[in-house]
Amino acid sequence: MKETLWRVFAVIVSRPCVAAWIIRRAQRTPYQHITSADGQERYMGRWWLFEG
Protein backbone atom coordinates (compact mmCIF):
# COMPACT_ATOMS: atom_id res chain seq x y z
CA MET A 1 0.00 0.00 0.00
CA LYS A 2 2.77 2.43 0.94
CA GLU A 3 4.65 1.70 -2.28
CA THR A 4 1.51 2.32 -4.34
CA LEU A 5 1.01 5.72 -2.72
CA TRP A 6 4.61 6.70 -3.45
CA ARG A 7 4.23 5.59 -7.06
CA VAL A 8 1.08 7.69 -7.48
CA PHE A 9 2.86 10.65 -5.87
CA ALA A 10 5.83 10.19 -8.23
CA VAL A 11 3.56 10.11 -11.29
CA ILE A 12 1.86 13.33 -10.22
CA VAL A 13 4.99 15.34 -9.39
CA SER A 14 6.84 14.14 -12.49
CA ARG A 15 4.28 15.70 -14.84
CA PRO A 16 6.00 18.61 -16.64
CA CYS A 17 3.55 21.27 -15.46
CA VAL A 18 3.77 20.15 -11.82
CA ALA A 19 7.56 19.78 -11.95
CA ALA A 20 7.89 23.28 -13.46
CA TRP A 21 5.69 24.72 -10.70
CA ILE A 22 7.79 23.01 -8.00
CA ILE A 23 11.00 24.39 -9.53
CA ARG A 24 9.57 27.93 -9.82
CA ARG A 25 8.36 27.77 -6.22
CA ALA A 26 11.74 26.57 -4.95
CA GLN A 27 13.63 29.27 -6.86
CA ARG A 28 11.92 31.93 -4.73
CA THR A 29 14.06 30.80 -1.76
CA PRO A 30 17.74 30.54 -2.77
CA TYR A 31 20.22 28.54 -0.78
CA GLN A 32 24.00 28.83 -0.89
CA HIS A 33 24.88 27.84 -4.46
CA ILE A 34 27.83 25.52 -5.04
CA THR A 35 30.81 27.17 -6.72
CA SER A 36 34.13 26.03 -8.12
CA ALA A 37 37.12 25.66 -5.80
CA ASP A 38 38.33 29.19 -6.57
CA GLY A 39 34.83 30.61 -6.10
CA GLN A 40 34.71 32.15 -9.56
CA GLU A 41 32.17 29.91 -11.25
CA ARG A 42 28.82 28.58 -10.05
CA TYR A 43 28.26 25.04 -11.20
CA MET A 44 25.16 24.08 -9.22
CA GLY A 45 22.28 26.27 -8.14
CA ARG A 46 20.40 25.13 -5.05
CA TRP A 47 17.06 26.25 -3.65
CA TRP A 48 14.77 25.40 -0.73
CA LEU A 49 11.29 24.14 -1.53
CA PHE A 50 10.11 24.62 2.04
CA GLU A 51 11.56 27.26 4.33
CA GLY A 52 12.48 26.02 7.76
pLDDT digits over 13-43, tens only? 999 999 999 989 888 887 877 888 887 887 7
Which amino acid is present at 22? I
In sign, the C-alpha dihedral spanning 10, 14, 17, 20 is: positive
User: Is-above-0.85 flag for pTM?
Assistant: no
Q: Give the H or E element holding residue 44.
A: strand 42-44
- DSSP assignment, residue 15? S
Q: What integer pLDDT is reported at residue 10 of this predicted model?
A: 96
C-beta separation of 13 from 22 below 8 A = yes
Specify whether the backbone of 44 is left (phi greater than 0), alpha (psi in -120 to 50) or beta: beta
